[in-house]
Structures are given as structure tokens and as C-alpha cells.
A = this chain, B = another copy of it.
């Protein structure tokens, strides 16, 4: 059974589909009796089926031509599945331990067959809400970010390779446009899709819309997002795009991937950890005051940046005599100059990270699609208090990001604001 045109699958037609595709059925040991199929409606965009049989398992992810959590009123090309498969394969090649394997891709059907991340893998955001510490998270995610960002940049690649890859991912324009809208535009204007904890945050949302300094800074970040093809970024690296166990960290869902600024990925991850931090007071109860857990989150924020910095520089040093065309060894030819150049590069990347991270935080509090970290706090007044602190920190980071010299200073700013 080959499908010559797109049609959305359901639990039943999915089995027929798998039967017809040897590279999928072989992952189930060619034994399709007694398959258990479960659609997991976590995501905002797609349909995801977990398929488990007696001799194997896999996941089938199918894109539909609109945003699932909003409906057909917000169309979004299903071609995103093509770019997701491309990015999974490219990032998987660069960081195989942290990206699930792609078994099969069907462009007509916008369908990816891939590894099932078996239990106890859960979405990181849910782990953060539950107060679970992941001792290897910073180590793993920094490894993933350093490798995927370094190796797809001009630090490692020639201009010719880079332009060719950039051109391919320009095809994912509609998804870029969506991100630009929800992150850099909607929160700063009246939009039917915006949502916040009302009436508590009404005045705060209004203040965002009226903050000229904030809007000027956001415009600069938006331009960088739209124009700067620095590396193949995941494009949506928040804590629901990461699945974890104590030993494993897996990055999923790169349908927003394109060549953009590195800081957008690093910032998305750190910004969502900061959101998780500010949500903890809403999850505290008499059994667990979350004090120790908040310290772990702050430590993880600090370690993630510091390890990313270390690994990124190590890759740069290792390959500095390679084919990358940004810094030719015949020009940057002494350790002192090499050190200065790297310091400047990482400072700029750090400030981008803080800016993009802050913008991602703001959009999760007063924009479309809020986060479960806060939404799961049932007491609206308490939730609003948590959100307001996070929002204040984000505004401060976004405006003053160039004054920060180290991640330790960021953690101090978080602690200071939290203590108020």
C-alpha cells in the first residue's frame, strides 16, 4: 500500500501503513500481531503514535497542515516534517547519543518513523514540575548544543558547504515565520492568541506592550533571528523538546530547525530552566518546600552554560586547523590572539543567549501557548506571583543583557529577584 497523496492516519490505518513499509515493520521484528498503539497528544502541533509489539517498538510522527492545539484556523505547512527529518538526521550524525534515530521518512505523508524513547523516558518539563533531579542533564545537553552548533557553523565549515545547507533550510520559512510571530511579535501587541493569568497579570501584560525600550531590543533580536544564518539550530529547544531519564537525555521535535543564531537554542533551553525555577514556589507543599530542588535548577543553569562554553571552545581548538573559513589559522596564528577571538565570540554568544532566552520566557507568560510549569499551579494568585517574578527577570535580562559577564551573575540576578 503506497500512498500517492497525503492523508492523516489513525490507529487503524497506521497498522496497514507499517505493514507496507519493510524498514518500519522490520523494527517490529516483522511481527505485527498484538501491536499496542497509543497516540500521545502532548505536543501542540502533530500526531505522535507509540507502536509497541512483542518483538520491537517505534514511534510514528505525522504532521498535519495546521497547528493541532489551535485547529485549522492556524494553518502550518506539513512540509515541516521534511525539515524535522533532515535536522534529526544531521543533528543525530553530530550528537548520536542525544538524538533518537530516524528509521524512515515519507515526504508525501509528512511522516517520520523513529526510535521509541521507552520508559522511564519522560518529557523534561514534566520531570522539572515533579521536582526530579537529573544529574547528567547539563553534561548531556551542553554536549548536544556544542556539537550541533559548532559543526554546522562557519567555524567548522567552508563557505560553500555552509551556503548550500543554508539554502536548503530556507525552505522551512513558514515555520521560521511562525516562531518570529509568536516569540518576537505577539507578546508586544494585542493579539487574539495571547493568554495570561487574568486579571492578576493584566497590568503586567499591558506594561510589556507599552515598554519602548523592550520593544527596541526585541526588534534587534528579531532581525538577528530572521537574518543571521550562524548554525543549524533546533529552533524550539525548550524543556518539552527534551526527553530524559537519569542516564539519558534525548532531544526531539526539531521541526523549527533552520540556519539561525546559536543563542536562540542555548537561550531557549536556559530560559525554560529559569521558568521552571520560578514555578517551583507554586509546586512547594508541606512535604517538599522545593528549596533543594531550586538550588539544583540554578546549579544546572550554571553548569549547562559553563560546560557548553568549555565543550564549544574545545571543539574549536581541536579543529582550528581544519576547513572552517571563519578564522583562518594563518591569520589567527598565535595563542594570545586565538584566546582573544574566542573570548569575544563567546561573549557575543552569551549576550545573544540571554536576549533570546528572555524573549522565550516573556512569550510563555503573556503570549500564545503558556507552559505547564505555571499552568499546573492551580491557585491563580500564587501562579501569577510566580509568573510576575519570571517576567520581571526576563525583561531585565533582555534589556541589560550586555552588562552580564558570566552565568554566575545571571544566577545571582535570579536569586535576588526571587528573594523579593
Residues of A within 8 A of B (CB): 154, 158-160, 162-164, 166-168, 170-171, 173-174, 176-177, 180, 185, 188-190, 212, 215-216, 219-220, 222-223, 226-230, 325-328, 330-333, 336-337, 340-341, 344
Q: Are A331 and B188 in contact (CB under 8 A)?
A: yes
Q: Are B177 and A160 in contact (CB under 8 A)?
A: yes
Q: Are A176 and B189 in contact (CB under 8 A)?
A: no
A154 proximity list for chain B (CB < 8 A): 223, 226-227
A160 proximity list for chain B (CB < 8 A): 173-174, 177
User: Once bound together, how far apart are the Cα atoms of A154 and B164, in whole Å?
Assistant: 22
Q: Are A219 and B332 in contact (CB under 8 A)?
A: yes
- What copy number does this chain have within its complex? 2
Q: Are A325 and B177 in contact (CB under 8 A)?
A: yes
Q: Are B226 and A227 in contact (CB under 8 A)?
A: no
A170 proximity list for chain B (CB < 8 A): 163-164, 166-167, 170
A229 proximity list for chain B (CB < 8 A): 227-229
A328 proximity list for chain B (CB < 8 A): 185, 189
Q: Are B223 and A337 in contact (CB under 8 A)?
A: no
A188 proximity list for chain B (CB < 8 A): 331
A168 proximity list for chain B (CB < 8 A): 167
A164 proximity list for chain B (CB < 8 A): 170, 173
A212 proximity list for chain B (CB < 8 A): 336-337, 340
Q: How many Å from the CB of A347 to the closest CB on chain B?
A: 11
Most buried by B among A167, A188, A226, A337: A226
Given the contacts A331-B215, A341-B219, A177 and B189 also touching, CB distance less than 8 Å = no
A340 proximity list for chain B (CB < 8 A): 212, 216
Q: Are B344 and A226 in contact (CB under 8 A)?
A: no
A326 proximity list for chain B (CB < 8 A): 219, 222-223, 226
Q: How many Å from the CB of A79 to the closest CB on chain B?
A: 12
User: Once bound together, how far apart are the Cα atoms of A263 and B168, in whole Å?
Assistant: 26
User: Once bound together, how far apart are the Cα atoms of A325 and B225, in whole Å?
Assistant: 12
A167-B168, A226-B325 given; name 8 further pairs at CB < 8 Å.
A159-B176, A185-B331, A189-B333, A215-B331, A219-B341, A219-B344, A227-B229, A228-B229
User: Once bound together, how far apart are the Cα atoms of A175 and B333, in whole Å?
Assistant: 26
Given the contacts A189-B331, A326-B219, A171 and B177 also touching, CB distance less than 8 Å = no
Most buried by B among A159, A227, A328: A227
Q: Are B185 and A159 in contact (CB under 8 A)?
A: no
User: Once bound together, how far apart are the Cα atoms of A177 and B158, in whole Å?
Assistant: 9
User: Once bound together, how far apart are the Cα atoms of A215 and B158, in whole Å?
Assistant: 19
Q: How many Å from the CB of A105 to the closest CB on chain B?
A: 21
Q: How many Å from the CB of A226 to the closest CB on chain B?
A: 5
Q: How many Å from the CB of A357 to the closest CB on chain B?
A: 20
Q: Are B330 and A220 in contact (CB under 8 A)?
A: no
A220 proximity list for chain B (CB < 8 A): 344
Q: How many Å from the CB of A191 to the closest CB on chain B?
A: 8
User: Once bound together, how far apart are the Cα atoms of A325 and B181, in whole Å?
Assistant: 9
Q: How many Å from the CB of A150 to the closest CB on chain B?
A: 14
Q: How many Å from the CB of A220 to the closest CB on chain B?
A: 7
